[in-house]
Amino acid sequence: EILARDAFTLEDLLDEDELLQEVKGMNDGLLDFLSQDSQVQALVEYVAVPAPAGANDARAIKYPYLACELICCDVNSILDVLVKREDGFPHLSLLFSHLHGDGEPDSKLMGFLSKIVQLLCVRRGLAMLAFLNESAGRADVPSVLPSLLRHLRSDSVHAMLRQMCMIQPPEGASLHVLPPWLKAPLGSDAEADLVEHLVTMLSDPSREAGHHSASSFLEFILTAPSEGRAALAGSLPLELQAAMATPSPLMFDGESDEEEEEEEACPPGCDQALYDRVLELRERRMDQEKAVADLNREVEELRKAVERLKQRDKQVEKELAAARADIEVFQAEKQRALNRLWVMLP
C-alpha cells in the first residue's frame, strides 16, 4: 500500500510490521526503493550515527535495528550500493565513523556494525579489502585498524577483526604477504603493525585490561590458520610462535591452572594401544561432529532459501491475481464498447 502512494519516506516503510518479510520475499518495488543510493545512505546513518538526545524510541532503538536487519537480508542490489567505490567508499566510511570518536562507542550500534561488517567480509570480501587498504593509505580519512584496536576489548570488535583477517586475498596475490591495511602504522609508534602492537600490549603491565583480548587474538592467528591469516601467522616472531604453541595463564585467562598445565598422557596401568585407539576414536568423533555441523549449516541455509522462495511465490501469486482482475475489467470494458458499435445488416 505504501509503495502505491505518490510520495513516501524510508521512515514510513520502517514503521511497517511486515517490512522484513517483504524484503526477504524479494518484493521488486520495495527492493528498487531500498537500493537507491540515498536510501542506503539513510540506513547506514541509522546504524552509524547515535540518536540525538531526546530522540524517541523509534529513532533510538527500532530504526537502527531494522536498518541493520535490512542490510543483512543479503540483497545483492543493496550490498552493491553499500560497497560502491566512487568518491572513496562513502557508505563504508560512514559505517565505520562511529569507531573513530574519542569516547566509548555505543555498544548497541557496535553490535549492528559488527554484524554488517562480518556479512560484507563474506559476501563482498574484495570490496571490503579494497576499502581497508585505501583507508590505511589516505591521510584525509581515519584508518580503520587503529580505531578497532582501541576497542579490542569489545566482543563485537573482536569478532569483526577476526572476520576481516579471514578475507581471502585477490586471485594471484601472495598468501604470505600482509595486505596494506594490516601493515599500517599504529598510534605513536610509526613502525608498529598489528602483530607488533598486540605483542606490545601483552608485554606492557599498565595495559593489563587488554591482555586477554590481545592474547586471544594472537591465539586465533596461530591456532586456526587459513589462507586469509597465513601472512599474519607468518609475521609473528618465531619465539612468540613457539611460546604460544603451549598454553599459558596469560593466553587463556580465566581457566584453572590444572586445565592449562594438563598434558595428555596414557594413565598408569592403561594399555597404550587401547589409549591410542581411544584418542583415534575421539578425533574421528570430532571430525564427524564438524561434518554434521557443516551439514546442519547447509540445511539451515537451504531452509532460508526455501522460505524466501515461498515468500516470493506468494508475492507472484498476489501480482498474478491482480493482473487477472485487471484483465477481467479490461475485457468487460471492451465488451461494453463493442456493444455500442452500430452494425449494418445486409
Instruction: Indicate the range of 143-152, 248-257, 282-291 predicted with least confidence.
Output: 248-257
Q: Is the pLDDT of residue 71 over 90?
A: yes
- Which one, of 251, 247, 221, lies nearest residue 234 by Cα? 221
**Neighbouring-strand partners of residue 189:** 186
Count of alpha carbons within 13 angstroms of residue 344, beta-carbon side: 1
Query: Is the per-residue pLDDT at 244 higher than 60?
Result: no
Q: 92-95: long-range contacts (C-beta < 8 A, 24 or more apart)?
A: 92/128, 92/131, 93/131, 93/135, 93/141, 94/41, 94/44, 94/45, 94/48, 95/44, 95/47, 95/48
Which of these ranges, 24-33, 183-192, 317-326, has the smallest mean pLDDT? 183-192
What's the pLDDT band for 69 if we cut at 50, 70, 90?
Answer: very high
Mean pLDDT (the chain, rounded): 77
pLDDT at 42: 94
Distance, in Å, from the CA atom of 129 to the CA atom of 234, rounded to the nearest integer, reads: 19
Q: What is the pTM of this model?
A: 0.60
Rounded CA-CA distance 339/171 in Å is 69
pLDDT at 294: 84
pLDDT at residue 238 tops 70 = no
Output 286 or 168, whichever has higher pLDDT: 286
* pLDDT at 39 (0 to 100): 94
- Dihedral (CA of 184, 187, 189, 190) sign: positive
